[in-house]
């Protein structure tokens, strides 16, 4: 049955969380996703300075996949106003920076707010020069950035990049830095080329792939992290139905995030909850990690 759960120091209304980046740019859309059944919401990533996005096209939708290079657009500290009215709700603020000091600075703006239950450190954007996967693929930097934000006393989740040889190195670095959970994964580095234009399709050239196409990549990352880490693993990447959620939980996930799946179906949270928490269903807590020998 659906009940209140706690994952990595954050209490949630159910196991399904709105992933960072999608519909998380305004307070109104965060509230809407909660009212549509999300058990928690993660904001669009907020950085140390206001930033416009990359030049377009920024998003391409394919059959079973989405490719984006939004370019970390965000209003920086001004985002605080969007969180009013969300006091006491399961809101996680996604933050990014170029070094531990910048992470610390962004975290300090939000750490006293009654509407912030946790931070998710974005160290994993695949196309953010200096701000993303460059940090996430360097375990020492992951640990230092995590330590810098853990000092706020607010639970810290770290969102990892799949664009590495062994994701457990960054997962263990986050754990060592004091993270309460790791989230796997951000988008997979990708590019398409328009044969008509003879140029990359995205304005930025390369971007990140999400959606059902990357689900097996995400399952493998969750499986490996569950074996390596003691802190909870949150699964993210291409989840589109309750069976995908159960598969992630069997791989070891304590909860899941849904991003691309919301784009063409805002009802996805309540639909999956209906299937996941049916009376006849097994207790999903009993299934966690059961795929491991």
Query: What Rg, from alpha-carbon coordinates, does the chain have?
Result: 18
Does 122 bind ligand RRO (CB under 6 A)? Our answer is yes
C-beta nearest to ligand RRO: residue: 208
CB atoms within 10 A of CB 231: 21
> Which residue from 68, 143, 180, 260 is in contact with ligand RRO, where contact means CB under 6 A?
68
Q: Does 25 bind ligand RRO (CB under 6 A)?
A: no
98 is a contact residue toward ligand RRO (CB under 6 A)? no
Q: Does residue 173 belong to the site contacting ligand RRO (CB under 6 A)?
A: no
C-beta closer to ligand RRO: residue 27 or 71: 71
Is there binding between residue 97 and ligand RRO (CB under 6 A)?
no
Q: Where are the beta strands (DSSP E) in the chain?
A: 5-7, 10-12, 16-18, 40-42, 59-62, 65-68, 91-95, 118-122, 156-160, 181-184, 188-190, 193-194, 199-200, 207-210, 233-236, 253-258
Sign of the alpha-carbon dihedral angle for 213, 252, 166, 127: positive
Q: Which is nearer to ligand RRO, 120 or 224 (CB)?
A: 120
Annotated catalytic residue: which of 58, 125, 273, 290?
A: 125
- Closer residue to ligand RRO, CB minimum distance, 104 or 124: 124
The binding site for ligand RRO (CB under 6 A) comprises 21, 45, 68-72, 122, 124-125, 128, 186-187, 208
The residues annotated with a catalytic role in the active site are 125
């Amino acid at each position: 049955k659906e009940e209140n759960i706690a994952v990595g120091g954050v209490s949630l209304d159910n196991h399904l969380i709105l992933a960072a980046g999608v519909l998380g740019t305004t307070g109104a859309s965060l509230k809407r996703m909660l009212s549509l059944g999300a058990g928690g919401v993660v904001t669009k990533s907020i950085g140390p300075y206001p930033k416009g996005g990359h030049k377009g096209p920024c998003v391409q939708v394919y059959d079973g996949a989405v490719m984006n290079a939004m370019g970390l657009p965000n209003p920086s500290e001004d985002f605080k106003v969007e969180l009013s009215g969300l006091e006491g709700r399961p809101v996680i603020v996604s933050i990014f920076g170029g070094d531990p000091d910048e992470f610390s600075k962004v975290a300090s703006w939000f750490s006293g707010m009654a509407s912030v239950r946790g931070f998710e450190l974005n160290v994993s954007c695949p196309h953010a020069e200096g701000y993303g996967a460059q940090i996430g693929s360097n375990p020492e930097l992951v640990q230092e950035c995590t330590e810098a934000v853990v000092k706020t006393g607010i639970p810290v989740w770290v969102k990892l990049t799949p664009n590495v040889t062994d994701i457990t190195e960054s997962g263990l670095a986050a754990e060592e830095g004091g993270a309460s959970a790791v989230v796997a994964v951000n988008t997979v580095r990708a590019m398409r080329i328009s044969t008509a234009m003879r140029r990359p399709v995205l304005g930025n050239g390369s971007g990140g792939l999400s959606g059902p196409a990357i689900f097996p990549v995400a399952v493998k990352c969750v499986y490996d992290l569950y074996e390596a880490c003691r802190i909870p693993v949150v699964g993210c990447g291409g989840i589109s139905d309750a069976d995908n959620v159960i598969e992630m939980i069997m791989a070891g996930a304590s909860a899941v995030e849904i991003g691309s799946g919301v784009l063409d179906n805002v009802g996805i949270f309540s639909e999956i909850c209906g299937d996941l928490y049916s009376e006849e269903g097994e207790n999903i807590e009993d299934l966690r990690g059961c795929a491991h020998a």
